[in-house]
Amino acid sequence: MNVLRRYCNHLLLAGGVLLPLHFLVGQDVARKTGEVRGKIVISSVGEARSPIKIDRYSTHRPSQSAGAVSVTPYRLSQQAVVYLEAESFKQQRFPPPTTRPKIDQRDLMFFPRVLPVQVGTIVDFPNNDNLFHNVFSYSQAKDFDLGRYPTGESRSVVFDRPGVVRVYCDIHAHMNATILVLNNPYFASPDDDGSFVLRNVPEGTYTMKLWYGRDVAESRTITVRGGETLNVNFNH
């Protein structure tokens, strides 16, 4: 009789713990997903950027340029990002990132100018210029100083906290990039024609943001329904 009671107690305890957990997990697993598609139109994209400050004090050693260095305008795909935000993402666990993106240093610029990554992503910073750079950030989400390393070498940083990470070069003041460290995998950089797609987005209501260049350019609330494709266009 005692054995039977103990068995029942264990069963109740297991049921009490596992059943709600099952529903919680099952809710996520069973949640239907939809797709967000759209197009970004930026009227000022590709416009010529101001030449960078002329380095008049580097004449004591070989330099890349004694004149005005005009920098290549970024393409849309290199400086725009769309991503979703929701309070519920903060409690959820997503599969760890599988990609290892990079921010390239070449032609006295960072490429891309904006890089979206999921928390936990390792980002490489290869130097492909024939001179030194010194990549650093003092952002709250991640502070680092990679020092100077030669052409062809790379350093990496793990971005383990969500937030906006402003990246600079200590030698070339005009160089800047932004890493958006996001707590979910629902983000995308558009193609150069502005089109983007976010797949497998769980149904729900979200804040969708367009990041362009250095800041958020536009923000709107969207509702994704399972099995449907939502069209969201940005005209900035």
Q: What is the DSSP secondary-structure string of 65-76?
A: -SS--PPPPPPH
At its nearest, how many Å lie between other proteins and the CB of residue 154?
14
Q: Which residue bears the tokens 């996520």? A: 28
At its nearest, how many Å lie between other proteins and the CB of residue 161?
15
3-state DSSP helix/strand/coil % of the chain, to nearest 5: 15, 40, 40
At its nearest, how many Å lie between other proteins and the CB of residue 67?
4
The Cα diameter of the chain in Å comes to 95
Is 224:230 a contact under the CB 8 Å cutoff?
A: yes
Which residues, numbered 32-51, are part of the site for other proteins (CB under 8 A)? 50-51
Among 120, 132, 154, 161, binds other proteins (CB under 8 A): 132
Q: Which of 25, 131, 151 is nearest to 69 (CA)?
A: 131
Residue 152 falls in which region: left (phi positive, over 0), alpha (psi -120 to 50) or beta: left
AA letter at 108 = L
β 33-41/234-235 pair status: parallel
Which residues, numbered 49-88, are part of the site for other proteins (CB under 8 A)? 50-51, 53-63, 65-68
Taken as a whole, the chain contains a residue count of 236
Contact stretch for other proteins (CB under 8 A) within 88-96, 137-145, 210-218, 224-232: 137-145
Among 72, 86, 126, 149, binds other proteins (CB under 8 A): 149
Among 143, 160, 193, 228, binds other proteins (CB under 8 A): 143
Among 137, 178, 183, 184, binds other proteins (CB under 8 A): 137
d(CA 232, CA 208): 9
* Closer Cβ to other proteins, 139 or 189, answer by number: 139
Binding pattern for the stretch 198-227 against other proteins, x by CB under 8 A and - elsewhere: ------------------------------
Binding status of residue 94 toward other proteins by CB under 8 A? no
At its nearest, how many Å lie between other proteins and the CB of residue 71?
13
Binding status of residue 91 toward other proteins by CB under 8 A? no
Is 84:198 a contact under the CB 8 Å cutoff?
A: yes
What tokens were used for 222?
């969207």
Binding status of residue 128 toward other proteins by CB under 8 A? no
- Footprint of other proteins (CB under 8 A): 50-51, 53-63, 65-68, 130-132, 136-138, 143-145, 147-151, 166, 168, 170, 173
